[in-house]
Amino acid sequence: MPNWDKIYKAVNKGGQKWKDINDGVMPYCFTEDINPLFVNFIAKTKFKNKSVFDIGCGEGRYLIYLSALGWQTDGVDSSQTSVETTKQALGDKAGSIKKADMFNMNISPNKYDLIISISTINHGFKKDLSKLINQVHEALLLEGKTFITIPDKKCINTWRTFKKHRMLDDNTAEPLIGPEKGIPHGFYTKQEIEEMFAKFKNIKMTADKTGQWLVVATK
């Protein structure tokens, strides 16, 4: 498992943030930003129970945002520092926020209106991501939705931290510089992502300014 706790602790001590390192090429990491497309998605979509599960909640920005709108908030992160930060920020409104490896965890079936993962779910190999996407499908209520970011293959050539990298297989590379040095990152074509989301309906994919696909899909 990548040592995300080490990364978060370094940032909390005043280390350089990813947005700064990448000159804005990879936003939404360790910043105050909420993706404006997410804000628009939440505003325009009806959810019955307002229950959300965040895979890789980080410092809890998205859960804090949704909690303020009356959502029930659950999530996981592999960093204990992040988990504690999120719990503290949510206070008594925190749901189940746990430390877990996203590729080796259990999510309760048929529970959530929405499952999100921002700049996280691609940190691994295709077989692991495909299995996790199927688990996401099972965890959603009928008509539940995803809001998940997955980078396109072209990002290998556009993201600054991948200026020096090593390919691990056809879909996976690891950067040789920067704070995520040595951590596997998956990069996929639109067709490959659609295949992974084959169990879903109404799949909508929008490319953001970083080259990541924003995948909104319905169970």
Higher pLDDT, 29 or 122: 122
Check whether 214 has a pLDDT greater than 50.
Answer: yes
Check whether 203 has a pLDDT greater than 80.
Answer: yes
Tokens 């999120």 -> residue: 86
Percent of the chain exceeding pLDDT 70 equals 85
Check whether 136 has a pLDDT greater than 80.
Answer: yes
Over residues 163-173, mean pLDDT:
94
**How confident is the model at residue 35, as a pLDDT?**
87
Q: pLDDT tens across 148-166, in order?
A: 999 999 999 889 889 999 9
CA gap 166, 6 in Å, rounded:
22
Reported as a pLDDT band with limits 50, 70 and 90, residue 44 is very high
Burial 147-186 (b: 16+ CB within 10 A, else e): bbbbbbbebbeebebbeebeeeeebbbbbeebbbeebbbb
Over residues 9-20, mean pLDDT:
47
Is the entire prediction scored with pTM above 0.85?
Answer: yes
Check whether 11 has a pLDDT greater than 80.
Answer: no
Looking at residue 154, which CATH number applies to its domain?
A: 3.40.50.150
Q: Which range (27-36, 94-103, 173-182) has the least confidence?
A: 27-36
**How confident is the model at residue 160, as a pLDDT?**
86
Token pair for residue 65? 């945002």
Check whether 206 has a pLDDT greater than 90.
Answer: yes
Q: Residues 208, 151: contact at Cβ < 8 Å?
A: no
Q: Residues 18, 26: contact at Cβ < 8 Å?
A: yes
Q: Residues 38, 61: contact at Cβ < 8 Å?
A: no
Degrees, nearest 5: CA angle 191-171-109: 70
CA gap 175, 162 in Å, rounded:
5
Higher pLDDT, 33 or 202: 202
Over residues 14-27, mean pLDDT:
41
Check whether 26 has a pLDDT greater than 80.
Answer: no
The enclosing H or E element of 53 equals: strand 51-55
Check whether 52 has a pLDDT greater than 90.
Answer: yes
Degrees, nearest 5: CA angle 78-79-81: 155
The total domain count for the chain is 1
Its domain, for residue 128, covers 4-218
Q: pLDDT tens across 137-147, in order?
A: 999 999 999 99
**How confident is the model at residue 5, as a pLDDT?**
54
